[in-house]
Structure 1
Amino acid sequence: MNKIWSELVKHHRRTSATTIANLFEMDQNRFNAFSCETDGLLLDFSKTSLDETGLNTLIELAQQAQLPERIQEMFRGDAINVTEGRAVLHTALRAQGGAVVMVDGEDVIPGIRHTLQQMESFAGALRSGELKTATGARFTDVVNIGIGGSDLGPVMATLALAPYHDGPRCHYVSNVDGADITDCLDGLDPQTTLIIIASKSFTTIETMTNAETAIAWLRAALGDRASEHLAAVSTAMDRTAEMGIPPERVFGFADWVGGRYSLWGPVGLPILIAVGRENFRAMLSGAAVMDQHFQSADLRHNLPVLLGLIGIWHSNICGYATRAILPYEQRLARLPAYLQQLDMESNGKRVTLEGAPVSRASGPIVWGEPGTNGQHAFYQLLHQGTQVVPAEFLIAAEGHEPKLSHQHDLLKANCLAQSEALMRGRSTEQARALAQSRGIAEADLGRMAAHLTFPGNRPSVTLAYPRLTPFALGQIIALYEHRVFTEGVIWGINSFDQWGVELGKELAVDMLPLLQGAKDASKDGSTLGLVAKLTGSKPAI
């Protein structure tokens, strides 16, 4: 594969003088050639510096990395998470029709569908009012307590599907900072609130600390009947039983579903409660359609593969260290944070599957905000900063507010204008003419023109879809899941473990006694000094 990498680097050097705008001038059909669509979701990557030679070389790189074979291994249920000896089967949670997925000689699909039916029965009874509170009333609010994958996915999807909400109001608590749960519970009525505790092991310290606070809040109002207001997403049935949660209200999932990939199953229970069975299943269907596309489409017309190859091109060949996720969709406000975890926890790795050092950069920094808010915050750097940041725009043809269609038109205009401005920029001659039109004195024209010049030639891709429906949301999330997998395969890393989160958690357990008065002379001077500052004690030095 080193030869292919070298060819890509050489090709980039040969073509670096050709701007993206030049590529459009040379090929009037560039948009059609460098865009791809499946089931209403369009990926436009024509505003990148890729040409046919570069793209074909990237596809050859993917083939040499055996990406098609690795895709089939994942969907087949092979233990591709090699450091933990596990299959990777979040895709099985949304499998449709007569799917069969074997793990250790057992078809896991019947169990998945049984759990989904249990979730639907519970959520349906809650939504209809059949499931009563301890006082015989309807539940009006649901608070999901989780962190990481047990929070970011449900939070993101619940917000995204706000037009489809017709169930109890859903709230989320994740941070161990007491302010988070205090602000959430303030104003809620414990007599009409259900608490869902989402932790596979039921040992996650942030989640269990918040759960203890929430249960104390329930008990203050309901006494011994507080457990009637509890449910759990966990596999630790012994621990949930100790907390008094009825087994029929505990929803588990297998270890071949990673946390950041888990919203499709029991972790998605609050989404199901908010939007109902039909809409939740539509989201699963959208993801399943993308799964089928990922498995069957040739690499040249495969949206997740193309998005992954573009990421490789920008990160490894062009040397761009970050990527900005810019949804022009307010209800996707939490998508950048969700994708940040999905991407950086998956591909923030420094060793290969074999344990050798990764020979090139992996896991770019992922960040972003919704448009148009971001335009008034950080787009200055995108347009005129010294670092090039590839932008990934998301935009719907229609919004959910027909009476405000003029505002959605303005939103679309801003999205398209930003991608065009990033590509075209403004030349020094254009900037000079603009300064002159504004009455700038001749002696100052050069200085002002420098300030008004935009370098342009800054790459972007755009995802366009008809409307943010549950189906479209499922497509988008699955697209990015498979993009992460594509990049991980090419880098030769394991995208499905996360050992990097362990060390800080271990040290936090050791740190707590120091904040409560214990001494530990083995700690560094900075740590001891900060402990003293935060506790008002004298430094133990």
Structure 2
Amino acid sequence: MTADWTAIEALPATKLVDLFDQDSNRLSMLSLDVAGIHFDWSKTHLTKDAVTAFEALAKAQGLAAKREALFSGAHINVTEDRAVEHTAERGEGAPDSVARARAFHQRMRTLIDAIEAEALGPIRHILHVGIGGSALGPDLLIDALGREDKRYDVAIVANIDGVALEDAFARFDPAATLLVVASKTFTTTETILNATSALQWMTEHGVEDPYGKVIALTAAPDKAVEWGVDETRVLPFSESVGGRYSLWSSIGFPAALALGWDAFEELLEGAGEMDRHFRLTALHENAPALAAFADLYYTQVRHAETRATFAYDQRLKLLPSYLQQLEMESNGKGVTVDGDPVGRPTAPITWGGVGTEAQHAVFQLLHQGTHLVPVEFVAVIEGGDTLAEEHHRQLLLNAFAQGAALMKGKQVSDPARSYTGDRPSSTLLLDQLDPRTLGALIAFYEQRTFVSAVLLGINAFDQFGVELGKEMAKAAGEGGQSFDPSTEDLIARAFG
């Protein structure tokens, strides 16, 4: 492994404009089209030699076997001795797991049919409470795809801050509200407290049987029934589906209800298409692999600590937030699968925003600041508005021009007005934003994260780092545990 990284770290630091001058085939080598998405890494510092070096590292780290293990249902989440089977939700996995996922999907569809037939009474609003992957995925799907065809008014509430719930209460009629409680374990403190408060709101406003309008999305159905949800309104999903990978499961219920079942099926099909590309394509032509190679080049060779994603489409404004959890919870690790220190950087800090707003906020640092920040542009050829075409034309031109400007720079006599250039970017250009393409896009990001983890020798599928703060918050609430002087003072000031 050391020799492989040494070869990567020894790659020459040639400027981007020179790389184009030296290789007339650069664009074709570093761009490809998959599932309605055009990928372009030609404005990164990847070269043919770099890709070859990363392929050697991938071979040394057993990527091919681990990729197959991912799809076969092997227990690749070694710290929790668990399979990782979100791909089975979209039809790519062990036959038994795929069959189980389809059965759970059919159960979800049956319940959706009943809701649409008003078996639970007239429903106009969906109040979905969850946190992390139980909220971010459905929120992204509905915001991206539901601007025209959304059949219900949906609120996704994750924050335990009561203001978030009250915002939804102010918009909704409690008698026409469906409460959806999403928690893998059905013990998540924030989610259960929010759900309890929502039930209280429904009761206080005259709903006779509030539990009769509760849907539970969980991998622990017994806990949901114990909490009070009727078994017929519990939508299970497999324990082997991780929270941040769960939008394909029953966690996607609010999206399937709001957007329609056909849209949800197309989402799964698009993700399955990307899965097949990832599973069957050589690494030098493999979109998730090439993206991971670029990510690792900048973290390991250029010591970039962050990566920015800018969605040049308002419908994808939640994408950077979604990627923050996917990438930093998956690969924000300090030890290998064997428990040894990694000894090198792992996940970059993921951040981003929406173009063109971000151009007037953070792009100053990207162009002239002292930090090297690889940038990813995500844009859509077909616009989502009905206004004059110039709106979307200017949006896309700004995205493309920013990438060109980051690479080329500009040198003038006044240093304050000069741009160093040689700043990397990649572009993901979707033909259109529909369920199939969005499914492929999200699956691409998942598999990219997996490749990075394998090459670094870490486990992308546990998340013990989120637990310590929760444990200490619980201890603080129960009393009987002392904290540092600063924390003790803050607790005293807040609660007396």
- TM-score range (shorter-chain normalised) is over 0.9
Inter-partner Cα distance in structure 2 for 1:456 and 1:267: 43
The corresponding residue for 1:500 is 465
Is residue 293 of structure 2 the alignment partner of residue 309 of structure 1?
Answer: yes
8 Å Cα contact 1:199/1:234 also seen in 2: yes
Letter of the 1:502 partner, please give it.
Answer: E
How far the C-alpha of 1:425 sits from its partner, in A, is 0.8
Inter-partner Cα distance in structure 1 for 2:5 and 2:392: 42
Inter-partner Cα distance in structure 2 for 1:463 and 1:335: 13
Moved more, 250-259 or 163-172: 163-172
8 Å Cα contact 1:129/1:139 also seen in 2: no
Inter-partner Cα distance in structure 1 for 2:35 and 2:193: 44
Equivalent residue in structure 1 for 2:97, among 96, 105, 108: 108
Inter-partner Cα distance in structure 2 for 1:69 and 1:240: 37
Equivalent residue in structure 2 for 1:131, among 112, 119, 136: 119
Inter-partner Cα distance in structure 2 for 1:236 and 1:85: 18
The corresponding residue for 2:437 is 472
Moved more, 398-407 or 208-217: 398-407
How far the C-alpha of 1:26 sits from its partner, in A, is 2.2
Is residue 404 of structure 2 the alignment partner of residue 420 of structure 1?
Answer: yes
Inter-partner Cα distance in structure 1 for 2:466 and 2:387: 46
The corresponding residue for 2:492 is 532
Inter-partner Cα distance in structure 2 for 1:28 and 1:238: 61
Report the identity percentage.
39
Equivalent residue in structure 2 for 1:249, among 230, 233, 238: 233
Inter-partner Cα distance in structure 1 for 2:21 and 2:228: 68
2:205 match: secondary structure = helix
Mapping 1:195-210, distance limit 5 Å = 195-210=179-194
CA 1:319 to 1:170, structure 2 compared with 1: closer, same or farther past 3 Å?
same
1:172 match: secondary structure = strand
How far the C-alpha of 1:9 sits from its partner, in A, is 1.3
CA 1:243 to 1:281, structure 2 compared with 1: closer, same or farther past 3 Å?
same
Could you report, residue by residue, the CA deviation over 1:316-366 in whole angstroms, capped at 9, with x for unpaired residues?
Answer: 111111000111111111110111000000000101011010021101100
The corresponding residue for 2:310 is 326
Moved more, 139-148 or 399-408: 399-408
How far the C-alpha of 1:296 sits from its partner, in A, is 0.3
Equivalent residue in structure 1 for 2:52, among 56, 60, 65: 56
The corresponding residue for 2:82 is 86
Could you report, residue by residue, the CA deviation over 1:449-506 in whole angstroms, capped at 9, with x for unpaired residues?
Answer: 1110011100001001101110110010000000000000000010000011111111
Inter-partner Cα distance in structure 2 for 1:418 and 1:257: 38
The corresponding residue for 2:133 is 149
Mapping 1:164-203, distance limit 5 Å = 165-203=149-187
Letter of the 2:251 partner, please give it.
Answer: V
Letter of the 1:333 partner, please give it.
Answer: K
Mapping 1:43-442, distance limit 5 Å = 43-95=39-91, 101=94, 107-126=96-115, 128-133=116-121, 138-163=122-147, 165-427=149-411, 431-432=412-413
Inter-partner Cα distance in structure 2 for 1:274 and 1:530: 42
Bigger radius of gyration among the two: 1
How far the C-alpha of 1:238 sits from its partner, in A, is 3.5
Inter-partner Cα distance in structure 2 for 1:263 and 1:305: 23
How far the C-alpha of 1:81 sits from its partner, in A, is 0.3
Following TM superposition, the consecutive aligned residue runs of length 4 or more in structure 1 with deviations greater than 4 angstroms are none
8 Å Cα contact 1:164/1:275 also seen in 2: no
The corresponding residue for 2:35 is 39
8 Å Cα contact 2:174/2:207 also seen in 1: no
TM-score (norm 2): 0.97
Letter of the 1:26 partner, please give it.
Answer: Q
Could you report, residue by residue, the CA deviation over 1:64-100 in whole angstroms, capped at 9, with x for unpaired residues?
Answer: 11111110011001000001111101000010xxx66
How far the C-alpha of 1:28 sits from its partner, in A, is 2.9
Letter of the 1:504 partner, please give it.
Answer: G
Letter of the 1:342 partner, please give it.
Answer: L
Inter-partner Cα distance in structure 2 for 1:191 and 1:216: 13
How far the C-alpha of 1:254 sits from its partner, in A, is 1.4
8 Å Cα contact 1:304/1:482 also seen in 2: yes
Inter-partner Cα distance in structure 2 for 1:531 and 1:170: 35
Letter of the 1:477 partner, please give it.
Answer: I
Inter-partner Cα distance in structure 1 for 2:267 and 2:419: 41
Equivalent residue in structure 2 for 1:459, among 421, 424, 431: 424
Moved more, 328-337 or 236-245: 236-245
How far the C-alpha of 1:165 sits from its partner, in A, is 2.6
8 Å Cα contact 1:163/1:400 also seen in 2: no
How far the C-alpha of 1:223 sits from its partner, in A, is 4.7
Could you report, residue by residue, the CA deviation over 1:14-45 in whole angstroms, capped at 9, with x for unpaired residues?
Answer: x22x3101111222332112112223211100
Inter-partner Cα distance in structure 2 for 1:394 and 1:405: 19
Inter-partner Cα distance in structure 1 for 2:279 and 2:446: 13
8 Å Cα contact 1:299/1:305 also seen in 2: yes
How far the C-alpha of 1:163 sits from its partner, in A, is 4.1
Could you report, residue by residue, the CA deviation over 1:281-318 in whole angstroms, capped at 9, with x for unpaired residues?
Answer: 11100000000000000111000011111111111111
8 Å Cα contact 2:71/2:93 also seen in 1: no
1:186 match: secondary structure = helix
Inter-partner Cα distance in structure 1 for 2:171 and 2:443: 36
Inter-partner Cα distance in structure 2 for 1:336 and 1:37: 22
How far the C-alpha of 1:244 sits from its partner, in A, is 3.1
Structure 2 segments unaligned to the other structure (5+ residues): none
The corresponding residue for 2:6 is 6
CA 1:100 to 1:35, structure 2 compared with 1: closer, same or farther past 3 Å?
closer
8 Å Cα contact 1:124/1:276 also seen in 2: no
CA 1:404 to 1:64, structure 2 compared with 1: closer, same or farther past 3 Å?
farther
Inter-partner Cα distance in structure 1 for 2:169 and 2:117: 22
8 Å Cα contact 2:120/2:213 also seen in 1: no
2:164 match: secondary structure = helix
8 Å Cα contact 1:42/1:464 also seen in 2: yes
CA 1:63 to 1:411, structure 2 compared with 1: closer, same or farther past 3 Å?
same
The corresponding residue for 1:445 is none
Inter-partner Cα distance in structure 1 for 2:19 and 2:331: 31
Inter-partner Cα distance in structure 1 for 2:490 and 2:93: 55
Aligned residues: 496
